[in-house]
């Protein structure tokens, strides 16, 4: 009988399996292979030095080779090439003159740090620029003439251009695979979102923290959806003609986005649902179905990623029939005049409809995933490219480049967090380098490296990087020293060097301590190739890291700090503005009885993205020192309220989509809708110049017209219910449908009115 494997060991194996199946590992492997090909070829031909310099040139640009369109990837690689070569040439020309070097370092670092926060691709450009600075500074003593510097830069350029060609060829053959991986990741994150919704139905769940976690998952999902849009929608030619595979991806993605929308819309009052499930234990069917949807989505993601065997058996028809029959019995009780079960019935009925819609969408995705190799063109695929949104409108869904001339100029002020971050990073890095040079440190540029790697725009992230960097450097230095003592051969050193580079990039997002460990090994063995002694490097590496990290932790606290409570009102205003526009689109469709798909989806996408940014801001706020978390409770309340408003707007949007040709132009609904918009306008106006949050005691949008509209709706609903009870059973259905629709709209608009009032009371410009 075999001994059972300890659970921790099994967890470790599962974790490593997940790591090596992740997209980041494949990207890291691609970066390493692309950089090492010129090194290995030149080694075989006897030109080791040339190969090493070309490898460095390829390495300078490899990190920006991430998922994206052909154009965006090519542009990023060429710009990064220009940046790295320019920096290298200028720094080497400055030589050992500290008077020339310090201003140059400040200018380069400020520029790179300034563009880094705009997007992930700009962040990676900045990191590659930093590495070019470090390596150029470390090589100053190796060159004695301008000719040698030009030759070095030429070889770096050759390496960078080699990697450019390598990346473009790989992109051409692997672009479908890239989209496939992104779609799979989007599917998996959608499943995680469903799992968190299921957790909110369980007893003992912290409701507020659970909702915030749900919002965090939405933020993560929104980022993944953005990357899919860039890959899938930027080039519309990929969705026409014979590109059935691309259109299949389009179909899957649209269904995933709609599933996310449905999930956001139903329901929002989880404590009430938990009580209902406790009162009616027979409705545990709901938990079972949601859990099976989550598992099915995970199975489909595995198939997309690795062509895994289909292990799902999503056949909940029997459970859905059972749920429907139980709801019919409850409906008969509701139709009685004095029944107290009406709210329970409507809530559970809404969930039943929600489950039916989600399951239909899962079936479409399932069909597209499982049968993608066995048929040319399914009917759903054909329709996907021609319905909802026209192909020409798809590029409008791709978020434009965040760095343009206007945003570049607008952020050149002390009011901008980007400007302060760039100034803080450049000042700290230059001061650290000058201090290390004054103290005659052997490798002063390692202080520079630590500052540039650890310093981040937010205090919480920087503090975390501080501890992780120190731990990773110490562990990596010890491992590198131990490997050196084994006296590895040149080939073995090359293998260690390549493996450590691959693993450093693999773990950089997932676990920074591990990434820092392998990056330290990589740097130390890189310098061993440059004929430096490893033992002395290990000691100085640790000392320089400690000095650099100490300077960073002081600078982030005292050198032009920008705390998140200053940014939160700005992002809250943007989120409320986007939600207002989204709501206006929904109300216009509701009152006019027409549905404009493109306008609706664009407004929805903007509202989701801005909500994700708001949630990110709240998490950064909680990472700041306690003394700097001004109005943290208000911020929490407002983030939650904004999320609940977005959920309610989405719920109304779902209703509008289901009744596209039907108008609900009631005076009462218009009055309440105008009241909601007024409250949002008041909140947005109050936040225009706000730098912190305060509470206002003023009454918001409680006019007699709104109160009268609410009373009129209540009276109409009561009359309809009385009418139903007096009608014979065979004539009730049409009247009941009208009653259910008006009741739903009345509840949703009334709930949103209360939410908007609460937001307006909390968010206003502070008193002068």
Q: Are 515 and 472 in contact (CB under 8 A)?
A: yes
H helices present in 371-416, as ranges: 379-384, 405-410
Least-confidence region, from 39-43, 347-351, 362-366: 347-351
Q: Are 356 and 320 in contact (CB under 8 A)?
A: yes
**pLDDT over 70 at 86, yes or no:** yes
Residues above pLDDT 70, as percent of the chain: 76
Query: Can you tell me the distance from the alpha carbon of 650 to that of 638, in angstroms, rounded to the nearest whole number?
Result: 18
308 pLDDT band, cuts 50/70/90, is low
State residue 715's pLDDT score: 74
704 pLDDT band, cuts 50/70/90, is low
State residue 698's pLDDT score: 44
For 267, 451, 452, 702, 749, the CA distances from 753, given in Å and listed in that order, are 17, 49, 48, 10, 6
Query: At which residue do the structure tokens 């050198």 appear?
Result: 559
State residue 3's pLDDT score: 47
Mean pLDDT over each residue of the chain, to the nearest integer: 77
**pLDDT over 90 at 386, yes or no:** no
Query: Can you tell me the distance from the alpha carbon of 51 to that of 494, in angstroms, rounded to the nearest whole number?
Result: 12
265 pLDDT band, cuts 50/70/90, is low
**pLDDT over 80 at 512, yes or no:** yes
Instruction: Report which DSSP code applies to 765.
Output: P
State residue 109's pLDDT score: 92
Q: For 617-666, how does the pLDDT look when each residue is reduced to its tens digit (9 = 90+)?
A: 787 777 777 777 766 677 777 888 888 888 888 888 887 877 777 777 77
Pick 380 or 608 by higher pLDDT.
Answer: 608
- Could you tell me the domains of the chain? 7-143+415-558 (no CATH), 179-394 (1.20.58), 564-762 (1.20.58)
DSSP string, 484-534: HHT---HHHHHHHHHHHHHHHHHHTTT-HHHHHHHHHHHHHHHHHHTT--H
State residue 107's pLDDT score: 92
242 pLDDT band, cuts 50/70/90, is very low
Q: For 433-470, how does the pLDDT look when each residue is reduced to its tens digit (9 = 90+)?
A: 888 888 877 778 888 888 888 888 777 777 777 788 88
State residue 600's pLDDT score: 81
State residue 151's pLDDT score: 92
Q: Which of 104-113, 223-232, 316-325, 642-651 has the highest mean pLDDT?
A: 104-113
Phi and psi angles of residue 310, each rounded to the nearest 5 degrees, phi first: -70, 120
State residue 745's pLDDT score: 80
State residue 381's pLDDT score: 46
Q: Which of 108-117, 318-327, 490-499 has the highest mean pLDDT?
A: 108-117
State residue 377's pLDDT score: 46
Q: Mean pLDDT over residues 565-588, rounded?
A: 85
Q: Are 504 and 522 in contact (CB under 8 A)?
A: yes
Q: Are 22 and 301 in contact (CB under 8 A)?
A: no
Q: For 1-48, how does the pLDDT look when each residue is reduced to its tens digit (9 = 90+)?
A: 444 556 677 777 777 777 777 778 888 888 889 988 998 898 888 888
Q: Are 205 and 199 in contact (CB under 8 A)?
A: yes
Q: Are 655 and 744 in contact (CB under 8 A)?
A: yes
């Amino acid at each position: 009988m075999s001994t059972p494997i300890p659970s921790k060991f099994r967890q470790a194996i599962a974790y490593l399996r997940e790591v090596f199946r992740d997209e980041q590992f494949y990207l890291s492997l691609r970066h390493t292979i692309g950089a090492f090909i010129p090194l290995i070829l030149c080694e075989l031909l006897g030109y080791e030095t040339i190969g090493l310099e070309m490898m460095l040139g390829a390495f300078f640009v490899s990190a920006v080779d991430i998922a994206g369109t052909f154009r965006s990837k090519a542009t990023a690689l060429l710009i990064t090439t220009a940046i790295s070569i320019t920096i290298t040439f200028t720094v080497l020309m400055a030589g050992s003159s500290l008077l020339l070097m310090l201003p140059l370092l400040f200018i380069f670092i400020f520029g790179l740090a300034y563009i880094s926060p705009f997007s992930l691709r700009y962040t990676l450009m900045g990191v590659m620029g930093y590495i070019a600075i470090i390596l150029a500074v470390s090589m100053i003593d190796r060159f004695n003439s301008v000719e040698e510097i030009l030759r070095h830069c030429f070889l770096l350029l050759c390496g960078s251009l080699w990697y450019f060609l390598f990346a473009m060829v790989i992109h051409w053959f692997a672009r479908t695979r890239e989209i496939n991986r992104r779609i799979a990741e989007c599917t998996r994150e959608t499943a995680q979102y469903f799992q968190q919704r299921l957790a909110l139905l369980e007893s003992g769940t912290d409701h507020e923290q659970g909702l915030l976690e749900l919002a965090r998952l939405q933020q993560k999902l929104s980022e993944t959806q953005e990357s899919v849009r860039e890959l899938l929608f930027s080039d519309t030619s990929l969705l026409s003609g014979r590109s059935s595979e691309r259109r299949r991806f389009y179909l899957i993605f649209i269904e995933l986005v709609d599933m996310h929308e449905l999930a956001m819309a139903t329901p929002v009052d989880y404590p009430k649902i938990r009580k209902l499930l406790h009162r009616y234990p027979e409705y545990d069917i709901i938990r079972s179905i949601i859990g099976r949807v989550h598992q099915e989505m995970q199975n489909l993601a595995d198939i997309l990623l690795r062509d895994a065997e289909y292990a799902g058996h999503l056949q909940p028809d029997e459970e859905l029939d059972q749920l429907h029959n139980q709801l019919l019995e409850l409906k008969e009780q509701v139709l009685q005049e004095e029944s107290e079960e009406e709210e329970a019935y409507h809530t559970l009925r809404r969930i039943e409809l929600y489950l039916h819609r989600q399951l239909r969408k899962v079936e479409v995705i399932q069909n597209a995933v499982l049968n993608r190799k066995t048929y040319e063109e399914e009917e759903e695929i054909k329709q996907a490219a021609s319905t909802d949104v026209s192909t020409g409108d798809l590029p409008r869904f791709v978020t434009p480049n965040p760095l343009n001339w206007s945003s570049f100029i607008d952020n050149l002020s002390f009011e901008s967090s980007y400007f302060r971050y760039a100034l803080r990073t450049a000042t700290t890095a230059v001061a650290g380098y000058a201090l290390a040079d004054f103290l005659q440190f052997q490798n002063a540029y390692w202080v520079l490296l630590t500052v540039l790697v650890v310093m981040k725009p937010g205090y919480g992230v920087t503090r975390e990087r501080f501890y992780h960097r120190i731990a990773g450097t110490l562990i990596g230095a010890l491992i590198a020293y131990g490997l050196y003592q084994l006296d590895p051969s040149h080939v073995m050193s090359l293998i260690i060097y390549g493996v450590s580079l691959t693993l450093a990039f693999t773990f950089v997002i997932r676990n920074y301590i591990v990434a820092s460990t392998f990056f330290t090994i990589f740097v130390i063995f890189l310098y061993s190739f440059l004929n430096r002694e490893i033992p002395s490097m290990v000691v100085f590496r640790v000392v320089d890291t400690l000095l650099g990290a100490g300077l960073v932790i002081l600078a982030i606290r005292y050198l032009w700090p920008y705390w998140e409570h200053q940014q939160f009102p700005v992002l809250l205003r943007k989120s409320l503005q986007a939600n207002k526009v989204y709501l206006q689109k929904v109300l216009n469709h509701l009152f006019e009885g027409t549905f404009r798909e493109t306008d609706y989806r664009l407004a929805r996408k903007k509202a989701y993205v801005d909500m994700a940014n708001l949630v990110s801001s709240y998490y950064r706020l909680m990472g700041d020192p306690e003394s700097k978390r001004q109005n943290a409770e208000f911020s929490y309340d407002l983030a939650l309220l904004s999320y609940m408003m977005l959920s309610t707007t989405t719920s109304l949007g779902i209703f509008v989509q289901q009744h596209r040709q039907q108008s609900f132009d009631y005076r009462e609904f218009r009055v309440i809708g105008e009241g909601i918009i007024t409250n949002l306008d008041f909140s947005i106006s109050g936040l225009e110049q706000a730098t912190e949050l305060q509470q206002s005691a003023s009454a918001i949008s409680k006019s007699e017209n709104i109160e009268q509209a609410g009373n009129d709706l209540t009276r109409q609903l009561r009359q309809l219910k009385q009418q139903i009870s007096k009608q014979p059973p065979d004539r009730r259905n049409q009247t009941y449908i009208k009653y259910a629709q008006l009741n739903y709209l009345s509840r949703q608009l009334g709930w949103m009115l209360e939410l908007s009032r609460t937001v307006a009371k909390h968010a206003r410009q502070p008193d002068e």
